Amino acid sequence: MPGAAVPVRESSRTIEVEDLVALVRNYNPRSDGELIRRAFEFGRRMHEGQLRRSGEPYFTHPVAVAAILTEMRLDDASIVTALLHDTIEDTKAKWDDVSRAFGPQIAELVNGVTKLTNLQLSSSEAKEAENVRKLLIAMSKDLRVILVKLADRLHNMRTIKSLAPEKQAAKARETMEIYAPLAGRMGMQWMREELEDLAFRILNPEARASIIRRFITLQRETGEVIPKITADIRTELEKGGIEADVYGRAKKPYSIWRKMQEKDLAFSRLSDIYGFRIICAEVPDCYRILGVIHQRWRAVPGRFKDHISQPKTNGYRSIHTTVSGRDGKRVEVQIRTRQMHEVAEAGVAAHWSYRDGVRAQNPFAVDPGRWIASLTERLDVEEDHDEFLEHVKLEMYSDQVFCFTPKGDVIQLPRGATPLDFAYAVHTDVGDACVSAKVDGIRVPLWTRLKNGQSVEVITAEGQRPQATWIDIVVTGRAKASIRRSLREEDRDRFVKLGRELARVAFENVGRRVSEKALTTAARTFGLPEATELLARLGSAEISARAVVEAIYPELALKPVEEVDARRPVAGLSPGQPFLRAECCQPVPGERIVGIKYPGRGVIVHAIDCPALADVEDQADRWVDLRWHAGLHPPVHTVSLRLTISNAVGVLGRMCSLIGEQKANISDLHFIDKKPDYYRLIVDVDLRDAEHLHMVMTALEAESDVAEIERIRDLNRKP
């Protein structure tokens, strides 16, 4: 940001209180230095005796976080929050102590950061959705909470080498998946790039080192390209009588690596690895500069974006164009005004920025309240937080395309969106009833990827309903959520019945009984209106039965479930009494069972609903009351599944991979019918229990090339 405080990087010199006060007063001469001094002393006293993993005094961390915030020219409340952000969590200080000393506003900010720190965003999927939801709710109350948290994460990543390797990897993954995209979505591109590069250094050091080595080789071969191209651009601007600043740089290693992966290119074939920014005074100058650049160098087709006329939702405005520069090298040029550049560097944080003691009045800065509302507008109406998480992640990671309705209205979508996404962006009813689409007047398949500037006409039909295969076509969270909701409603009764059985099994496995009261309590924990909705989610595999149990009995989440001996998984047998699972019904743990005595063979274990039991219905002396032992059963219970799959390249391999991803083993597989367009086969899968079976069948059922799947109950296999 032009005129911002000098960036504070890690150094051996400790930042003292007067250094920090001076950093703030560089941009805010009216800063309350005494408030910062009191907070500095309070934090230092509370953390006294505490050390970081590196051996440094712990308080060096909050001070470094505060110094990072001075780079964004944030207000005194944010700086004080940074100094105190770990006091409520890690010291004897309480909310009341902070409130009395610094006021309720700062106490609430500190408490908000504490809550975010306690969220394990990369934990299990069930918890991740709820935690990201809480993160966004905290942001909606006061955006400064997330600004402090991002600075906290940035400093932790800069000093991550003192952690154990496995903790470094976990923190780096969380940074790459959550914090870096969030910083980018907020428009803080410099922070996103640094977080990504720091995480990349941990997660793939060989790839990063390789890219840096290639850069060095390239510089040796071509010389210093950046100063030469910068000079060329300045010369052309001087000829045109335009005053502007020109900056050039090589792109970050992670940015280059990601482009290599996305486009499947070798480094030698990668073109635009250099980027240049031209910063001018007024908006008309931006378009004059664009004309100068395109007159001097040839524009690369399809690589032009005008974010001045179509700003991003976080306030970002700039013209992007890629041209063939010196020696035919492609370079990306960004053109913007100084005020646009401030927002491009600070993003949504520009709203809080100070200059000369007053809040900076930047016309391009986005109101944080409106921005958060745009990000979380579905939170109040969308009861499914998992789908909300998917929506938020997609939106945070996405680049964007702009398409037009036949009336000329602009629809903004993430890159890779399809006409189906467009239809759902117009209205859910339009998406549900979509049968085809025209792009620029030509009828196209629904899976067509849309491009910038295309006009899309959605064709609907009465009675049309969403298809299960649409989930694989759409990319936006809104479309996926709408399709799943529609499919869920159609299968609701079946899912509720199945969910109730899965809940019974899960509760019995931990020695508890399921009740309506327990289910209602669990539903509230997941933010669902009633127990029936929870059961529907259970039955459709959107919530795991284990997560439901842990929601009511959190202490069970901390205790490892006792493993059941595979040799004696059934309770109710006499000591040493032999037994076998019935081949006709293949019962698995979690299903209700009964034993039937067979002379010379011991007890055969049947599912309680096995048709074969009709043969011994009047022989009560042969019946044995059995149940499965509670606990975690090993995956040794074989179940036969009959599948019908497409006869296409890779389908069988994909199906086997899906089963493996569910931690299940294929013990046998044979084909029973082969046709030019489909195969029918029987797969024997070794499973833990009924929930494991449900997970495998659901994963296969969701695969678009699996036309039919059923569990085999074969009376010809009777004992």
- DSSP codes, 38-53: HHHHHHHHHTTT-B-T
- DSSP codes, 590-645: TS-EEEEEETTTEEEEEETT-GGGGGGTT-GGGEEE-EEPSSB--S-EEEEEEEEE
- DSSP codes, 452-518: TT-BEEEEE-TT----GGGGGT--SHHHHHHHHHHHHHHTHHHHHHHHHHHHHHHHHHTT----HHH
- DSSP codes, 516-546: HHHHHHHHHHTT-SSHHHHHHHHHTTSS-HH
Closest listed residue to residue 683, CA positions, set 705, 702, 660, 703: 660
Closest listed residue to residue 73, CA positions, set 152, 121, 162, 4: 4
The residue count of the chain comes to 719
Contact of 177 with 131, CB cutoff 8 Å: no
Contact of 196 with 176, CB cutoff 8 Å: yes
Q: Are strands 330-337 and 274-280 parallel, antiparallel or unpaired?
A: parallel
Closest listed residue to residue 201, CA positions, set 182, 162, 179, 173: 173
| Helix/strand/coil for 375 | helix
CA–CA separation, 39 and 148 (whole Å): 15
- Which residues make beta-bridge pairs with 570? 628
89 among known catalytic residues:
yes
SS (H, E, C) 63-102: HHHHHHHHHCCCCHHHHHHHHHCCHHHHCCCCHHHHHHHH
CA–CA separation, 213 and 250 (whole Å): 13
User: Which secondary structure element, helix H or strand E, spans residue 694, and what is its range?
Assistant: helix 690-702
User: Which secondary structure element, helix H or strand E, spans residue 189, and what is its range?
Assistant: helix 189-203
CA–CA separation, 616 and 600 (whole Å): 17
Tokens of 489: 């409603």
Question: Residue 515's CB: how many other CB atoms inside 10 A?
Answer: 12
Spot the catalytic one: 10, 41, 76, 89. Answer: 89
CA–CA separation, 131 and 120 (whole Å): 7
CA–CA separation, 6 and 23 (whole Å): 8
CA–CA separation, 163 and 156 (whole Å): 10
| Helix/strand/coil for 317 | coil
CA–CA separation, 19 and 13 (whole Å): 11
| Strands ordered across the beta sheet of 678-687 | 665-674, 678-687, 637-646, 706-711
Spot the catalytic one: 10, 18, 41, 90. Answer: 90
86 among known catalytic residues:
no
Q: Which residue has the tokens 């299960």?
A: 468
Q: Which residue has the tokens 């036309």?
A: 707
Note the Cα 292 to chain centre separation in Å.
41
Contact of 312 with 375, CB cutoff 8 Å: no
User: Which secondary structure element, helix H or strand E, spans residue 273, and what is its range?
Assistant: none
Contact of 376 with 393, CB cutoff 8 Å: no
Catalytic residues: 89-90
